[in-house]
Copies of this chain bind each other. A is one copy, B any other.
Amino acid sequence: MDHSHIFIIVIELMGTIAFAISGAMVAVRCGMDLLGVIVLGVVTAVGGGMIRDIVLGNIPSALTDPIYVLTAVIVSVLVFLLVFFRRKILSDGFHPLYARLIEAMDALGLGIFSALGVLTGIRNGHLGNTFLLVFLGTMTGVGGGMLRDMMAQVPLQVLYKRIYACASIVGALSCTLLYPRFGEAVALFVPLFLVLIIRLLAAHYRWDLPRIPRE
């Protein structure tokens, strides 16, 4: 296993941890029990990558390499324990912090997986196909959170959140364009920061896309 491969795995584990936290916290919020929290954490963390691998016709890497699921399970259990024993504190005015933590973790996972989806597509020999790569990146980025929201039956972030899908597309597109000239590291970190900045600015300044009020 060469250096660049280890580097990718470390980044992928970071994304897994971020998405597992966001999934587990949504589950906690919905009043699920420990198993529910673990299931939702795992689905959020590995769901996007599984969709990507299935679309590419590969057996999902989450199934052949246990490390991602194990990481997501451990993280979900930790989140559960933390909230379980700190419930008191959480209910005494820390709610905005709580919501912000979900949002930050979600933005981090979104950035990491949007870029990793593109790189996986390139590794599968689709370097020339910009459109396919951007689609793969976006699907990997938003897929886990989409499954999370559909399973928890809360409004889908990708449909209602300020420029959520948009951030993922920008991340995937920049990764696709940067890779041929600057290589893997740049094609990973620039999109990652782009997505993070877009999401956090959007949340902070409450950027709104035009929207038609509900009838």
Chain B residue at minimum C-beta to C-beta distance from A169 = B35
Pick from A104-112, A127-135, A182-190, A192-200 the stretch touching chain B.
A127-135
Which chain B positions have C-beta within 8 A of A38? 165
Instruction: Check A165 against B64 for contact (C-beta < 8 Å).
Output: no
Count of chain A residues near B, Cβ 8 A: 59
Which chain B positions have C-beta within 8 A of A136? 63
Can you name 4 extra interface pairs (CB under 8 A) apart from A63-B136, A91-B215, A150-B150? A31-B213, A35-B165, A55-B63, A56-B59
Q: What is the interface of chain A, defined by CB distance below 8 A to chain B?
A: 27-36, 38-40, 50, 54-60, 63-64, 66, 69, 80, 83-84, 87, 91, 95, 129, 131-132, 135-136, 146, 150-153, 155-156, 158-160, 162-166, 208-215
